[in-house]
Structures are given as C-alpha cells and as structure tokens.
Amino acid sequence: MNHPAAAFATQKRALPEAFVAALTACFGERFSMAGAICDAHGKDESMLDPMPPDGVVFAETTEDVQTAMLLCQQYRVPIIAYGTGSSLEGHLLALDGGISLDVSRMTRILAIHAEDLTATVEAGVTREALNAALKDTGLFFPIDPGADASLGGMSATRASGTNAVRYGTMRENVLSLKVVTADGKIVRTARRARKSSAGYDLTRIFVGSEGTLGIITEVTVRLYPQPEAISAAICNFDTTEAAVACVIQTIQLGIPVARVEFLDAACVRALNAHSHMDLRETPLLLFEFHGTPASVAEQAAQVQEIARDHGGQDFSWATAKEDRTRLWKARHKAYFAGLQMKPGTRALTTDVCVPISALAESITTTSAELRASKLPSMIVGHVGDGNYHVMLLVDPNVPADYEEAESINRRLVSRAIQMDGTCTGEHGVGLHKMQFLLEEHGEDALDLMRQLKNAFDPNNILNPGKIFPAASSA
Amino acid sequence: MNHPAAAFATQKRALPEAFVAALTACFGERFSMAGAICDAHGKDESMLDPMPPDGVVFAETTEDVQTAMLLCQQYRVPIIAYGTGSSLEGHLLALDGGISLDVSRMTRILAIHAEDLTATVEAGVTREALNAALKDTGLFFPIDPGADASLGGMSATRASGTNAVRYGTMRENVLSLKVVTADGKIVRTARRARKSSAGYDLTRIFVGSEGTLGIITEVTVRLYPQPEAISAAICNFDTTEAAVACVIQTIQLGIPVARVEFLDAACVRALNAHSHMDLRETPLLLFEFHGTPASVAEQAAQVQEIARDHGGQDFSWATAKEDRTRLWKARHKAYFAGLQMKPGTRALTTDVCVPISALAESITTTSAELRASKLPSMIVGHVGDGNYHVMLLVDPNVPADYEEAESINRRLVSRAIQMDGTCTGEHGVGLHKMQFLLEEHGEDALDLMRQLKNAFDPNNILNPGKIFPAASSA
C-alpha cells in the first residue's frame, strides 16, 4: 500500500538536456542524477511515500545556490532546498521532479559576536553544531526541534522545540537571513540590530516560507548567556488532566520556566524501552528551570507547590549535567522511541497548538479518541505553549490504518482550529497540512499568501506545490 | 522657512465629485472636508510641514474601513490610516492628498482572554486605555512608546519603548491582526495560538508596514502577569561612556532587567524643568526590575555591583508605586520636555539601533558631534536594545538650523548602518527615513519590498509615497 503522496504531483517532466549539461559544467561531481542520491533526497520523516527529485546539487556557497537558481529559473525547473531531511510533513518531496538543492555541506560558522549575543552561520549548520561551536563562549542557542536539524531548515519551517516557552521560536530568534531569490539575487533581509522598524519585515517573510519564496543560505540568530544554574525535574501525575492543569496554572502565573514538557504514559513507556530510562509510567511533566541559583530554587518551589495542588508527586530531580543531558536526549528521541512501539510501522505525527485555556479540553478529548482506537499512539507536547504532538503508528500493509490515523488527525486539527488554534505549531505545512489551511485562514488570507508567492516566484519554481495546492500558486 | 516635505509630493488632485458624493452618502457627518479637520490630520510630531488630506473619514467599525477602502479603490484615491497622530517621521502626511481614515473612534476592547494572556482590541484603543481595561485582571500590556499611541498605529510602525529589552516589541507581541486589504477584503492574519507554522507570517507582514499594505482594524496582543514585585532605581554616572558600559555588561550577563533607559545630562535638565523632578543632572540610567521579591532584590544587587564597577553612584530607589509612576511619566514626556529647552523651536528626533557592542562608540561619537553644534540637543535611549534617540531643536526661521540638524542626523544614521545597525529602531520610515533605506537594505532587498507592495496594493492607494519613493512603488 502506498500512501497517496503521488496524488499531489502534477507535471513531472524530464530535465532539459541543456540544463543538465549546464549544471554538470558548473558543479561537476557536486551535481548528481544517481538514483540512490535522488531517492535519499525525496523523502523525509513523514509517512508519505518518497518522491525523488531528478537531480541533486550539493551547494558549498551562496554563489553555488545562486548559480543553481539562475539555471532553474532559465529552464523553469523546480528547485527544493534540502537541509537534513528531518521534515515531518513532506516538505522535501519532489512532486514535480526538479532539483534538490542540498545545503548540508554549507557548515561554516561565519561569525560569533559573543558581545552582541548573535551568531551567523551557513544554512547547513545544525543546532548541535552551533552549540558545540559556542561551547567556550558562555552562550547557547536554545531552539531545539527533536531532530538535529539545520538552521536553514529550522528557519524555513519556523521551528521551535522544548525551550520555546521561555526563549521563543525561530520567529523570534532569527535576526537576519541571507536569501537567494527566485531570480537569483542575493539579499540580506535585515541588519544585526535587536530591533528595527526600517521597512517590511523581510526576515519574517522568509522564516516559515518552506523554501517557496527563496532559498536561505545564511542565518543570523540570537544567543543567550548560559544560565548560572539549571535544574530539571520530573513530576508524575495520576491523570493527563492533572498534569495539564498544572502547566496551565504555571504559565498563567508567569513563572519563567525554561521547559515544560508533557509525556503521556505511552510515551514514557516508549522512552523507557528505547532509551533505557526508568521513569514511572504515568503521565508526567519534565521541567527545566534556568536562572541564578536562588531564582531556580524559587521557581522550582513555586511549581512544586502548584503540582502538589493538582496531585502531582514529589519532584524527582536531575541536577547533575549528565542526568539532564540523558533526560533531554531521551525526550528528543521520543519520535524514534515511539516508532519502536510496533516495529515495522510508519508514523503519522501531528502538531497542533491551541490557546492555553483550551489545552486541557484539546488533550483530553484527543486522549479519549486515541484510547478508542486500536492504533498504537502516544502524546508528547511543548505544553507551556499550548503545543502538542500525537504519534499514530500505521501498518504500511493495512489501508484501514492509514484511513483511521488520518481521520483522527483531521478531527484533532479541526478541533484545534475551532478553539482558535493552529494546524501546526512548529512542523510547518508541507504537503500534509495543506488540507487545513483554508479552514484555518480563510480564502481571503490564503489569497494574500498566494499574491506574495506570485510576486516573489512568478514562475513557481521554488518548492512548487507546497503550502498551497500547486494550481492556485501558479 | 518651510521644511521641504512638499518635495515628496507628486500628484495631488481634487477628489472626484462622485467619490465625494458616495462618501457623504455612506458616512454623513463622519466624512468631512472641513479645513480645520483636514489640517489636523495632515500633521504629526515630526518637523515636517503639514500636508493635509482632502477629506477625513471617521470609521467606527471594520466595515466602515472596508466601505471607505472600496470607494478609494474604485476612484483610485489615496487612503491614509490615522490613529493618534503621534508619528515622528511624517507617516501621516497626505503627499498626494486623498482621504485620512481616522480610526480613533474604534475604541472597543473586544476580548480580554485573561487565562490565555491575550487581548483583542479595535485599532483606535491606546496603550493606556488597554492597560486601564486590564487593571483588575492582574495582567498588563508592556509596550510603551512615549506617546499614548493607538494599538493600530503601534502595530503599523512596529513600535516599542522602554520595556522592549525584557518583553520585546510589537513584532513579538502582536499575535494576530484584522486587516482591510486594498481590494476591500477583511482578513484575519492568524489565530490566537502562541506559535504557528501554518503558512506565511501575514501578521508580521502587516506589523511595520505603515499603512502601505492594508489598514489594521483589530489587534490581538500578548499580555503578561503583573510582576509580584517591581522596583525602579536611578543611577548617576560621571560620563556617558561609563553609563553605557554598565548597560552593555548588564545585557551581556543576561540579567533580565525590565527597563534600562539612558538619559544624558541635557535630558535630565529638561525633565527636571518640565516635570518638576529633582534628578541630579549627570548622565544617568533608569532601571526597573520585575519578578518575585527575591528575584528583584537579586537583580538589583547584581546591577548595582556592575554600576559600581563603572563608577556609578549608589542607586536612588523608587519603590513606591507613586514614585515609579512619576518617574516613568517624566521619562515618557522627554519629547515634550526636550521641546521646552528652547520654546518656539521644532524638533528633529532621530532613532537608531545598533548591535550592543557598538553602542558605546555610537553614542560617544554622537555626543561629541552634539557638543560641537550650537543646536540645543539631548540623547535618550532604550539602551538595553542598543536603541537611542537624539533630539535636535531647530529655529523654524533659520534655514541653517535645519541643514545642520539634518546633517548631524545623516551622519549619525550612516554610522549606525555601518555598524550593522538600523536607521530606525522603533519610529518607522515614514517620509523622513526613506533616504536611508537603500543604504541599509540594498537595492535587491528594496526590490523585494516593492514587489510585496505591488502585489498587495497594485494601484498604490495605501499611504502612497511612504517607505519607498512613490515612483518606485507605483
């Protein structure tokens, strides 16, 4: 059984010979049409079937991206930026064929302005590589999607992660981008000042644009001083409702927690099995507190009191750095741990975000639906932001599994939108969330998005067929 | 002597008779072409001469804005949104005549979702009115430009103020907007979730667009719990350099100050005179700390220690609410206090923002230039963000004064841009900063902005001639 990603495709054509010759002349061995390489660039971590591009260009500089872009523009060939391939919504699939523009070799740290709390890196630098480079500066970059994604990809999907409740998302933390436009111009979207009112916010136009408006080649991000003290705590609850109620009160009181993650019992079981943890298998919250020693102690005491009011157990502390690292590594591997709940399956991972007052209802209704389904599933969430994920495992040989997973996903997302929430808090639209954009934004707002797309990419060569159906953006 | 705002104007024409008749039929007395009313809507707080519109529509609802927009579109008449008239860069001047669309009667607080920490208001609600409405909720809205500006205007200029160092600017604090587009559609730019990756960031496209892409009629903003404890302190320094060095170190250490404002000695003298304060007349910093009592005490102790290292005097505290209110009221009136340094003059107020490592050099070079000029001047700044303002007073009867003020301004802004800073941190471009956009962004980035403008407003009726020269955006 193939999941019908192919249904999105419209007009795949062979690459023009002259175009292939030109790319070969420019890039030599850094341009490949080999099947294995194309296959590797036509898939992601979603459950959509792969759709390989016709060729892959391995860019090493912004000028490489410009060269490839100018040729794609000249020959009207689709061009899809590729970072680490960790998309969860089908962003990278080459619906109409074309070129995958791989930036994973663009790994230079261009500047660390420690005194300004900023760093500028090439688009292929991953979040872990950036933090490794920052190690001796006393600074860190907080945004942490589960995968060790590239900064370019994280910008393009407006990613976030466990720290967003305190530090914001890529929306707040990208100061400036270098972008190659559809017509091959190299544009810097902003300067390095912390704030500016100098014209349209080009930075935020490209953040979250999923490679459909230009290709990001450099990213300037905000950095933060490493907190003097950090402590992490695990708190078990009898019920999902109680855990969520604790989070809501913590946020409403303005306690500046750095992380507050919800795991349902299924997720805890999966982490124990996959990462050899020994967490008690109940719904639980993982907290992390950043600040001075006194402030961390105070925050923890406040939150422990709130937790107790909701029947939470005593905090189990992870104060040593190794213990914290182990805990968050396990948390970041929740996706792979979840897949092991039933080996041989594929995962539908959804991602909604609701106003926090609606979080309890949203999660408990969803929990009840999951219990009523025979599909293995788990819930994990950045609940301080009202954002959570459901993973549903489907047997690739059972069509009814796909239908059931999609049906649960549709109802879950529709409820989130009705609660004034969004169909994606951090994964992006890609292919798989396109069906919800109309319900979320309405036709007139989508028209504005299409007008922007048409203005920036009139020939629709940039990651065509994503965010909106291809026909509408042409 | 008139300052040559008129030089920007291109094609002022009389309003078409049928258009006037239609507006009159729709709005009755809420449409006026009376000279006094038009005059009042064609000026702001900049030193540019007024340029009145040909008529003013007083909107009371989003549908009123839509009606006016559709007529302006039909007759190709310019339409300029008007909030409280507190612009400092000529945003409101009707270069080509047309209609001023006054939203100051749109003052309904539409929803306070205290449990979600959000509020939705009509565009004419001012920041003080919003905070008055929040009084009993335990929440507040932090963004505070000097003026009691409207939330619509603050969104349109991407405003900020004294709290931005802790709470961000309108860029970070607007969750969603309702906008009337150039073709009269009513669009909601986003839902109320704290984060979203669902398509292009329409919200941030309109934030800072200065009425050139659509007219904002409703604003949904983030709110914050009122801190349990607040204290404010004044710290005098011998030199500007020492005060700035103290700020830089405070920021680089990540101490979460809520406010840190720099005033030079001239500004302190002006505040003493205008607001009957008794501040010691040296360069000084005003601090405010928010948090729990323990955390406020700890922050203050840390900052006091840094200040001492830079020769700062002991903190003079303003812990009582009345004292704090008096202090910040005085600070917010710095503009009017400054004007009183020499009654009968007009003010050029500039607004640059640089990476914080460049702040000391930027301010000290500027200070030296100001000392060398005979024009009365002062410096005041949201220095925690690297953002500061210079006010220069010019005698309207002395052409050389204008030239000197503009010349100081040009050099100051160019230096900021060369330091990787911006020509405006929070006031916006309007007319007066247009000359710097090319230097700041480059031609290709400006072209992208023009493409966006053309896509959203193909007939160039929305606040024409602002941000970019009129000819380029047509």
- In terms of domains, do A196 and A245 share one? no
Q: How far apart are CA A130 and CA A119, in angstroms?
A: 9
CA-based R_g, chain B, Å: 22
Contacts of A291 in chain B (CB under 8 A): 295
Whether residues A69 and A152 share a domain: the answer is no
ipTM confidence: 0.96
CA distance B35 to chain A (A): 32
- Is A440 inside any structural domain? no
Are the Cβ atoms of A113 and B191 closer than 8 angstroms? no
pLDDT at residue B418, as a whole number: 98
A240-252 helix and A293-309 helix, angle to the nearest 10 degrees? 130
Residue A472: predicted pLDDT: 41
- CB within 8 Å: A440 and B191: yes
Q: Alpha-carbon dihedral of residues B93, B96, B98, B102, nearest 10 degrees?
A: -20
Q: Both A302 and A401 in a single domain?
A: no
Ranges of chain B with pLDDT below 70: 1-12, 470-474
Residue B442 in tokens: 């480059």
The amino acid sitting at B227 is P
Choose, out of A139, A200, A216, A441, the residue to mutate when testing the contact with B (most B CBs < 10 Å): A200
> Tell me, what CATH number does A270's domain have?
3.30.70.2190
User: Under an 8 A CB cutoff, do B420 and A191 touch?
Assistant: yes
- Look up the CATH number of the domain holding residue B384: 3.30.70.60
The total number of structural domains in chain A stands at 4
pLDDT of residue B319: 81
Q: Is residue B70 part of a domain?
A: yes
| Neighbouring-strand partners of residue B260 | B287
Contact residues, chain B, for A357 at CB < 8 Å: 113, 115-116
The DSSP code for B126 is B
Note whether B196 contacts A353, CB cutoff 8 Å.
yes
CATH number at residue A191: 3.30.465.10
Partner-chain residue, chosen from B113, B195, B224, that has the shortest CB–CB distance to A164: B195
Query: Which 8-state DSSP code applies to residue B251?
Result: H
On whether both A283 and A314 belong to a single domain, the answer is yes
Q: Which residues contact B209 (CB under 8 A, 6 or more apart)?
A: A200, B156, B467
* CA distance, residue B276 to nearest chain A CA (Å): 33
Domain co-membership, A79 together with A156: no
CA torsion through residues B73, B77, B78, B79, sign: negative
Task: Report yes or no on A388 lying in a domain.
Answer: yes
CB contact under 8 A, A117 and B252: yes
pLDDT score for A226: 96
The answer to whether residues B138 and B160 belong to one domain is yes
- Residues 6+ positions from A99 with CB-CB distance below 8 Å: A15, A23, A53, A54, A55, A56, A57, A68, A72, A77, A78, A79, A80
Suggest the residue from A69, A166, A194, A260 to mutate for an interface test with chain B (most B CBs closer than 10 A): A194
Could you tell me if B267 and B178 lie in one domain?
no
Residues B289 and B354 in one domain: no
Neighbours of A344 (CB within 10 A): 9
Dist. CA A439–CA A441, nearest whole Å:
6
**Domain termination residue (choose one: A105, A127, A152):** A105
List, as one string, the DSSP characters of B395-432: -TT-HHHHHHHHHHHHHHHHHHHHTT-BS-SSS--TTT
CA B344-B345-B349 angle, 5° bins = 145
Picking from B68, B85, B105, the residue at the C-terminal end of a domain is B105
Query: Closest approach of chain B CAs to the CA of A398, in angstroms?
Result: 30
Q: How far apart are the first and last CA of chain B?
A: 31
Task: Give the one of A115, A172, A425 whose C-beta lies nearest to B197's C-beta.
Answer: A425
Helix (H) or strand (E) holding B42: none
Token pair of A450 as six digits:
């299409």
Does residue B470 sit within a domain? Answer: no
Contacts of B24 (CB under 8 A, 6+ apart): B31
**How many angstroms separate the Cα of A439 from the Cα of each of A361, A418, A444, B54, B391?**
20, 9, 11, 41, 49
Note whether residue B431 is domain-resident: no
Comparing CA positions, the residue from A195, A177, A194 lying closest to residue A186 is A177
Same domain (yes/no): A236, A326:
yes
Dihedrals phi, psi of B200, to nearest 5 degrees: -65, 150
Give the one of B115, B429, B446 whose C-beta lies nearest to A252's C-beta: B115
One domain, residues A91 and A126: no
Cβ contacts of B17-22, under 8 Å, gap ≥ 24: B18/B75, B19/B71, B19/B72, B19/B74, B19/B75, B19/B77, B20/B55, B22/B71
Please give the backbone phi and psi of residue A4, each rounded to the nearest 5 degrees, phi first.
Answer: -80, 55
The token pair that represents A47 in the structure block: 């459950």
B60-99: b or e for each residue (b if 16 or more CB lie within 10 Å)? bebebbbbbbbbbbebebbbbbbbbbbbbbbbbbbbbbbb
Question: Number of helices and strands (H, E) in chain B?
Answer: 18, 19
Low pLDDT (below 70) residues in chain A: 1-12, 470-474
Q: What pLDDT does residue B47 have?
A: 87
What's the rounded Cα separation, in Å, for the pair A144 and A160? 6
Query: Minimal Cα–Cα distance from A432 to chain B, Å?
Result: 11
CA pair distance A99, A81, nearest whole angstrom: 9
Residue B462 lies in a domain: no
B17 and B95 part of one domain: yes
Q: Most B CBs within 10 Å: which of A89, A112, A143, A195, as the mutation test of the B interface?
A: A195
What's the CATH code of the domain at B308?
3.30.70.3450
Answer with the one of A61, A83, A105 that is the final residue of a domain: A105
Q: Are A85 and A101 spatial neighbours (Cβ–Cβ below 8 Å)?
A: no
Q: A405 lies in a domain?
A: yes
Task: Indicate whether B449 belongs to any domain.
Answer: no
Q: Which of A454, A201, A289 is nearest to B213 (CA)?
A: A201
Tell me the pTM.
Answer: 0.96
Of the candidates B409, B416, B319, B430, the one whose C-alpha atom is nearest the C-alpha of residue B359 is: B416
Task: Verify whether the Cβ–Cβ distance B448 to A187 is below 8 Å.
Answer: yes
* Helix, strand, or coil (residue B212): coil
- Decide: residue A7, CB within 10 A, 0-12 exposed, 13-18 middle, 19+ buried: exposed
Sign of torsion over alpha carbons B186, B192, B194, B200: negative
Per the prediction, chain A carries an average pLDDT of 94
Residues A214, A235 within the same domain = no
Domain harbouring A67, CATH code: 3.30.43.10
Domain that holds residue B406: 342-418
Pairing of strands A174-180, A215-222: antiparallel
CA distance B374 to A462: 56
Residues on chain A touching B140 (C-beta within 8 angstroms): none
User: Which chain A residues contact residue B208 at CB under 8 A?
Assistant: 197, 199-201
Q: Whole-angstrom Cα distance, residue B157 to residue B160?
A: 9
Best residue of B174, B197, B427 to probe chain A, by most A CBs closer than 10 Å: B197
